[in-house]
Each structure stands twice: as structure tokens, then as C-alpha cells.
Amino acid sequence: MKKLSLSNLNDLFSAIAEKENLYIPTDNSVGQAAFSLWSDGAVLSEKCNTVRSAKDLFFPQVENLVNFKVTGKQIEVIENRDPAEPFVVFGVRACDLRSFDILDRVFLSEPVDSYYRTRRENALLIGLACSHPSQTCFCTAFGIDAAEPAGDITCWMSDDTLYWRANTEKGATFTDSLAILDDCQDDPVHKLQEDLRDRLGRLPLHDLDLTGFDSDNMIKLFNSEKWDELSQSCLGCGTCTFICPTCQCYDIQEFNTGKEVKRFRCWDSCMYSNFTKMSAGQPRPTQKERFRQRFMHKLVYYPSNNEGIYSCVGCGRCLQKCPVNANIVKVIKTLREELS
């Protein structure tokens, strides 16, 4: 276990940035927390979570995959992916760290997404335990302990001290390179964890019940009449999918500049009417069907195919941002009535 006075936090960030690119949560011009490249004087955000997760650094919203140049009958493939440079992400919360377990099962399964894999291999993730969880947090429902975040390194903050623990070989090697950190006992961390777990146990959604959201009840849940009621107010805006740390749907488009063809990957949303649209039409033509698909995937389909792991981490972003309150907690509570 290591420690650092918070008065020296900027010095720590400077020492890290001398080795590799460093991303930390900072407050932007409109007061929202977002991961950004650290520069001298940047201040770590005190907000519970960023508006969008660290997923953006591994699966960008828009990405130029490859270019093609056509000359007569010859096609030249132009590789233009970013250089594979190591980077550090500091301040990732426990919920967002769990999201990588979910994303890895998608992007690192065959056929492997080499763009995502390269970033994962070059990243060092530093988790940061929550100090003041939000009223909209419900990570505990998914077995996530916000007082014990994962990552290559885990950090905790008291009023005046940063505590630092390496969890992996990569994390230990990186820790050994930082002379600014001092050795310490882990007793203060145990007290911080106890206090945080007490706060988590008093949150409004700490006991959210997921019993019955499994493959055994798939048909019953799918055919529930509650979907009509739940989806009625949905605007199909896609906000919930764009801020979700585990959503991974994307589209691929090509743009002809006149000199070459650029192939882009961009985020897509199952809430959109043209999502997965084929020559025969849209397989889910109504908003109800699209709404149902999103939440059935999170709560039933994904866990059915992944050892019971839900495709939600309880970060609470959709509770905060959905303009009509059609969030996953409302879905869970309403459908639980069907299972009672």
C-alpha cells in the first residue's frame, strides 16, 4: 500500500504524464465531468461520475477505420489507425471498471476487434473508490463494491490523503516507477471502505431486486403487457445508449471524398428506427419493440449467454439523463410485478 498527500496530487499527475499520456475526469465548460488528457493545472473532478464513461477511450464514438484509394482497377488500402501508444486512465469508478468485463466479452471474442484490443493492451486503468455516491447509483444490485474498485491500480481518497494499491503485475511495475509515493499501512483504507459501504446501504436503490430476470422467465418477460405502458413515453432519442458504459452497438459508413473513400465506425442505437434496417425492412418496426429489445438484452439476453452477468453496471447515468424517466430501474420495478 502506498500513499500521497492530496496537496501533491498535481505532482503525481505530472510524474505519470512524463511517462505516458494521462486521462483524468475534469469538469468541462458546462460543469460536467468528462475524461480528458491531463495538462499541468488540470483539476480532478469531485463529481461522483463522468457524464460518459471511460469506454470512449477504447471504443470512440466516431472512428476512421481505414481508407481506400481507387486508381483505375487498382485499390490501395490506406492504414490510418492511431499509433499504439501506452496511456493511463486515472479515476475510473467501480461501475465503469466492471463495464470493461462486459465489453471485453464482446470485442475480444472471436473475431477479435483489433482496434479495441490494441487500446486495452496499451492502457493502465487506475480505479478510484467513490467518496460520495449519487442517489441514482445502484451498482450494489449487480454485485459491484464501489469501495473496492478493480483496475490495475486501486485508489481511495480521504480528506487529505490518496491511498494507492497495485492489483496487477502491470500496476505493480508502474507503481515502482513512481518515487513520489510513500509506503503505508492499509488500516485507513479499511475505515474509508466501511464508511462508503454504510453510505451505499442507505441509498434509495441499494436493494433493487433482480430476482427472476433470467432465461427461465425469458418468454414471460418478453410477452409482458407492461411493455406497452413502459415504452409509451419513450422518445427514441438514444440518450440512454450513448451515455451507457456497456452499450456497444455501432454502424459502419463509407464517405467518398472524391480522392479516396473513408470508412468510419460510429456508435449506433437499438432505439433508432433505422437500426439494423435491411432490404426486407426493419425487424423491430415499433418503438415498443425497440424499447423492449434494449432492456431485454441488458437484463435477460446478455446474462443468458454470459454466465449470468448482466449488461448493466448500475452507474445511474440513464436515471439522470433520460428526459422522460424511462430508465432501467423503472423497467425492473415494473416487470418485477409480473414475476411476483
Q: DSSP for 293-331?
A: HHHHIIIIIHHHHTTT--S-----HHHHH-TT---HHHH
The model's pLDDT over 244-294, given as tens digits with 9 standing for 90+, comes to 999 999 999 999 988 899 999 999 999 998 887 776 667 788 999 999 999
**Residue 181, CA distances (Å) to 176, 215, 300 in order:** 9, 48, 44
For residue 119, name the pLDDT band (cuts at 50, 70, 90): very high
Average pLDDT estimate for 161-170: 97
- Lowest mean pLDDT: which of 70-84, 125-139, 287-301, 313-327? 70-84
Instruction: Tell me how crowded residue 272 is: count the other CB atoms within 10 A of its CB.
Output: 17
Mean pLDDT of 204-212: 93
Residue 41 CA to residue 18 CA, distance in Å, equals 14
Q: 338 falls in which pLDDT band (50, 70, 90)?
A: confident
* Contact present, 306 and 105 (Cβ < 8 Å): yes
Q: What is the structure's pLDDT at 171?
A: 97
Distance CA 159, CA 162 (A): 9
- The cell 438484452 sits on which residue? 297
User: Range with the lowest mean pLDDT among 130-144, 264-278, 301-315?
Assistant: 264-278
DSSP lists the bridge partners of residue 339 as none
- Long-range contact list for 323-329, CB < 8 A, 24+ apart? 323/235, 323/237, 323/239, 324/233, 324/234, 324/235, 325/233, 326/230, 326/231, 326/233, 326/234, 326/240, 326/291, 327/240, 328/240, 328/295, 328/298, 328/299, 329/138, 329/205, 329/208
3-state secondary structure at position 144: coil
Phi, psi of 95 (to 5 degrees): -65, -45
What pLDDT is stored for residue 89 in this prediction?
A: 98
The whole-angstrom distance between residue 271's C-alpha and the CA centroid of its chain comes to 19
pLDDT at 184: 93
pLDDT tens track for 65-108: 999 998 888 889 998 887 778 999 999 999 999 999 999 999 99
Map out the domains of the chain as residue ranges: 2-63+82-200, 215-248+269-339
Q: Other C-beta atoms within 10 Å of 113: how many?
A: 19
Q: What is the mean pLDDT of residues 42-71?
A: 94
C-alpha to C-alpha distances, 212 to 125, 230, 294, 313, nearest whole angstrom: 34, 18, 18, 18
Mean pLDDT of the chain: 93
pLDDT at 293: 93
Cα–Cα distance, 179 to 12 (Å, whole number): 9
- pLDDT, residue 247, reads 96
Q: Is the pTM of this model over 0.75?
A: yes
